[in-house]
Structures are given as structure tokens and as C-alpha cells.
């Protein structure tokens, strides 16, 4: 007999609005504690000095985390000109200065080079592993960390406002993109120095600020036994993938890991109706409830991840 997990069986997503100076790990721990959940995880690390959207998965929703990690993310940030910091944000030491302040025209002229697939060197103070150790641990120990450039995707980058010593931006980007690296590189391209003075994540995929919940509100809901009000279904992370409505007699075989054979014309019509193509991942549901993640291989529907809800 397997060991029983501590805590309650809670399945779903919390669209958490992370406060300043809280780590992503601390945020997950806090939300898990509030719900007394057996299992929890997050969809994309957010720096302690950043605020904003940190989707937290509880229970079976943790199986959908990869879909959120691959989702586009939206950031609002401020670059402070004239100084370069060791961490590329307000926490680090000043390592270089410049008297040059770029104009709005110069900034806008430089932005197109940062759109699309670009090469980016992560900050030395990052969670990337170097020979089995985190880069930020090595950097804090005084080692000269040399990180390799890697390909990241930036969907859009817009200058919102300029002031004497700083400028505001909004960026939509793919996973692995470091806003701190972008600030560092953009400043250097503009002939000056710069670092992130403010950073807020406004959206991760379909999770945005509109239905995000702050820590104090979450604590209030717990105190009044209304935490369910902040719990989104695990399918909330899967809104942009096809959904196949199952028949009742198809649920048990799929949950038991068996393959469904779709050989009749009505079955093919079901797949065509939702636009499900071969080797594509979809969500299998019954009466709106998530049953499993599935893939199509020829005439077979194969379970990839089964939800024990």
C-alpha cells in the first residue's frame, strides 16, 4: 500500500499576483499551505524583485504546467539609464556608469533588432545551472560566470514612455527570455548603461491581471472558508488546445491507459469538428470535466496524461 500524501486533494489553478520580495518557491509554499494541498508547482519563475502573475498549480493541475511554461508572457518594465548593475536589477552593485541618455527616437530605432528569434546571454545572477551549480550561487561566491547565448523569442517590444533617466516598456515573449538581459543589451546598443528598475509580469498565457488574486485577499478567503472562489479548473491552462468531448463509455478505458479506436465515420467527424490533427495534443472531457490529455495516432486516441479527479 502506497504512502498517503499529506494534505487535502485539491486540484486546480490559482492565478496568484506575486508581491515584491517573495520568491516563486515561497509563493508556491504559501498557496499550498493556505489550501493544505497535497501537491503544488508554478508555471515560470518570477524574480523576487518582480511582481505580477505567477500561475500556481495544485494537485492534478501540476500535470498541465508544461503548457503554461510554453505560453507567451507579457511584461511591463522600467529601464534606468546611466548605470550597469552586477545583477542587472536594483539589487546589484554598480559596476559601470554612463552620462548618455538615449532619446525616444534612438530607442525606437533600436527596438526592431530585439523582435523575433534572437540570441540572448542570460544574466550571471540567474538560476541556470553551470556544472551542476546555479549561476547565481557561483556569482555570489565571486566566480566569473560565463554563460552561453541562447535563442529566445520576443513577439513584441514597445516603448511606452520616456523620462529624464528612465523609460517604460511592454514586451510579449516566449519562455526563457530574461528581461534583465534585454535591458542590459539594449542600453549597451544605445551607447549607455542600464538596468531593470521595475518589473511586473502582466500575463502568462490566458492568466492575466483581470482575475488575479493578491495574497491578502487569498488569506481573507481562507479565513472565511471561501478558498474555492479563487480556484480555477485545471483546464484553465489548456484553453488554447482542442477539446474532445468523450462518450460515457469511453471514460473508463482512457483512464485505465487504454487506446480508443476511432474507425467509424462519426468518430472521424468528431475529430474533424474540433480540428484535431495527427500527433496533436488535445484535452479529453466529459460534461466539461477534464479527463485526460490525449494524442491522435492514425485511428487511435492515446492517453498521454490521465487526471485523477
pLDDT at residue 149 in the model: 86
Please tell me the least confidently modeled range out of 135-139, 177-181, 204-208, 231-235.
135-139
Domain membership flag for residue 292? yes
Find the angle CA(181)-CA(150)-CA(18) to the nearest 5 degrees: 50
Domain membership flag for residue 7? no
Distances (CA, A) of 162 to 69, 173, 183: 31, 22, 14
Which residue among the candidates 17, 47, 89, 185 is catalytic per the annotation? 47
| Beta-carbon contacts of residue 74 (< 8 Å; ≥ 6 apart) | 170, 171, 172, 201, 202, 203, 204, 208
* Mean of pLDDT values over 217-239: 93
Domain membership flag for residue 293? yes
Together in a domain, 67 and 78 = no
Bridge pairing between strands 94-97 and 116-120? unpaired
State whether the Cα torsion 126-127-132-137 is positive or negative.
positive
- Phi and psi of 253, rounded to 5°? -55, -40
Together in a domain, 39 and 88 = no
Q: Is the pLDDT of residue 62 over 50?
A: yes
Averaged pLDDT score across all residues of the chain: 89
Domain membership flag for residue 6? no
The C-alpha atoms of residue 57 and residue 271 are separated, in whole angstroms, by: 29
For the chain, the straight-line distance linking the first and the last C-alpha, in angstroms and rounded, comes to: 20
* Mean of pLDDT values over 207-233: 95
Which domain does 48 fall in, by range? Answer: 12-71+207-237
Q: Is the pLDDT of residue 131 over 60?
A: no
pLDDT (tens digit, 9 = 90+) per residue, 164-195?
Answer: 999 999 999 999 899 999 999 999 999 999 99
Q: Which pLDDT band, with edges at 50, 70 and 90, does 119 fall under?
A: very high
The C-alpha atoms of residue 214 and residue 201 are separated, in whole angstroms, by: 14
Q: Which pLDDT band, with edges at 50, 70 and 90, does 261 fall under?
A: confident
pLDDT at residue 270 in the model: 83
The C-alpha atoms of residue 173 and residue 114 are separated, in whole angstroms, by: 11
8 A C-beta contact, residue 168 and residue 160: yes
8 A C-beta contact, residue 202 and residue 209: yes
- Phi and psi of 249, rounded to 5°? -75, -5
Distances (CA, A) of 178 to 24, 34, 100, 122, 185: 16, 30, 24, 6, 11
* Mean of pLDDT values over 193-218: 96
Q: Is the pLDDT of residue 273 over 50?
A: yes
pLDDT at residue 123 in the model: 76
Active site includes 47? yes
pLDDT at residue 1 in the model: 45
pLDDT at residue 42 in the model: 94
User: Crossing angle, helix 24-35 and helix 215-223, to 10 degrees?
Assistant: 10
Residue whose grid cell is 496568484: 16
8 A C-beta contact, residue 149 and residue 119: yes
pLDDT at residue 300 in the model: 84
Secondary structure of residue 51 in the 3-state scheme: strand
Q: Is the pLDDT of residue 39 over 80?
A: yes
Higher pLDDT, 21 or 297: 21
8 A C-beta contact, residue 242 and residue 280: yes
Together in a domain, 87 and 190 = yes
Higher pLDDT, 186 or 277: 186
Together in a domain, 231 and 248 = no
8 A C-beta contact, residue 294 and residue 302: yes
Domain membership flag for residue 3? no
DSSP 35: H
CATH of the domain at 278: 2.30.130.10
Picking from 265, 72, 40, 253, the residue whose alpha carbon sits closest to that of residue 284 is 253
* Mean of pLDDT values over 114-139: 69
Domain membership flag for residue 4? no
Considering the chain, what percentage of its residues have pLDDT values greater than 70? Answer: 90
CATH of the domain at 59: 3.30.2350.10
pLDDT at residue 127 in the model: 56
Amino acid at each position: 500500500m502506497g504512502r498517503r500524501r499529506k494534505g487535502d486533494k485539491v486540484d486546480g489553478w490559482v492565478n496568484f499576483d506575486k508581491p515584491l520580495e517573495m520568491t516563486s518557491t515561497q509563493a508556491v509554499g504559501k498557496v499550498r499551505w493556505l489550501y493544505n494541498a497535497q501537491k503544488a508547482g508554478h508555471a515560470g519563475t518570477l524574480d523576487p524583485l518582480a511582481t505580477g502573475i505567477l500561475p500556481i498549480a495544485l494537485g492534478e493541475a501540476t500535470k498541465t504546467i508544461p503548457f503554461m511554461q510554453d505560453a507567451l508572457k507579457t511584461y511591463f518594465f522600467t529601464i534606468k539609464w546611466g548605470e550597469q548593475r552586477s545583477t542587472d536589477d536594483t539589487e546589484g552593485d554598480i559596476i559601470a556608469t554612463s552620462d548618455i541618455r538615449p532619446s525616444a527616437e534612438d530607442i525606437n530605432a533600436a527596438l526592431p533588432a530585439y523582435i523575433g528569434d534572437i540570441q540572448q546571454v542570460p544574466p550571471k545572477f540567474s538560476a541556470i545551472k553551470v556544472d551542476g551549480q546555479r549561476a547565481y550561487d557561483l556569482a555570489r561566491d565571486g566566480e566569473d560566470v560565463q554563460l552561453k547565448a541562447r535563442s529566445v523569442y520576443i513577439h513584441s517590444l514597445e516603448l511606452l514612455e520616456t523620462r529624464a533617466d528612465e523609460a517604460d516598456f511592454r514586451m510579449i515573449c516566449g519562455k526563457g527570455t530574461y528581461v534583465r538581459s534585454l535591458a542590459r543589451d539594449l542600453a549597451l546598443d544605445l551607447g549607455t548603461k542600464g538596468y531593470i528598475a521595475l518589473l511586473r509580469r502582466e500575463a502568462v498565457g490566458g492568466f492575466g491581471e483581470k482575475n488575479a488574486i493578491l495574497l491578502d485577499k487569498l488569506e481573507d478567503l481562507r479565513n472565511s472558508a471561501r478558498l474555492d472562489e479563487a480556484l480555477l479548473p485545471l483546464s484553465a491552462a489548456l484553453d488554447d488546445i482542442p477539446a474532445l468531448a468523450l462518450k460515457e463509455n469511453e471514460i473508463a478505458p482512457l483512464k485505465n491507459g487504454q487506446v480508443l479506436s476511432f474507425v467509424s465515420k462519426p468518430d472521424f467527424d468528431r475529430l474533424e469538428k474540433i480540428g484535431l490533427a495527427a500527433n496533436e495534443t488535445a484535452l479529453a472531457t466529459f460534461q466539461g470535466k477534464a479527463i485526460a490529455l490525449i494524442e491522435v495516432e492514425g485511428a487511435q486516441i492515446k492517453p498521454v496524461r490521465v487526471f485523477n479527479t
